[in-house]
Structure 1
Amino acid sequence: MEGYGKVERPVIYGLAAKGEHGVRRVIEMLKDEFELAMALSGCPSLKHITRNHVRTERDRLHSML
């Protein structure tokens, strides 16, 4: 499944396994995980998420130098 990202792949698996219900369940699980990550980061809403909360592959590689 080259070309699909970390969000698309589970949605496709959900679709293959359980059709529309599987996609809805995957999206619900991703939403729940995102809300938990926000809470653990001290972000009560989307507007509270800043660049300091986000780490990219570039940031990870830079920190290894």
Structure 2
Amino acid sequence: MTLPPTIRWRKSSYSNGMGGECVEVALLLGDIAVRDSKAVPGPWITVGTGAWESFVGAVRVESPARSATN
């Protein structure tokens, strides 16, 4: 699958400019593209929006950093 050149990638809120890069995501038609923010021209994966929502929901619930601040 070739991604359109106009795709807009969004970095994880946990990414920073001091080596703490994580992932970037982009909304596609019916899917989410995910790539390593340190390997921009590198490979990516796509997942369905339902699977992505489940993943993000689970990460939010299980995140030690998030539970430490709540």
Give the TM-score, by structure 2 length.
Answer: 0.30
Higher relative contact order (CA 8 A, sep 6+): 2
Bigger share in strand: 2
Bigger share in helix: 1
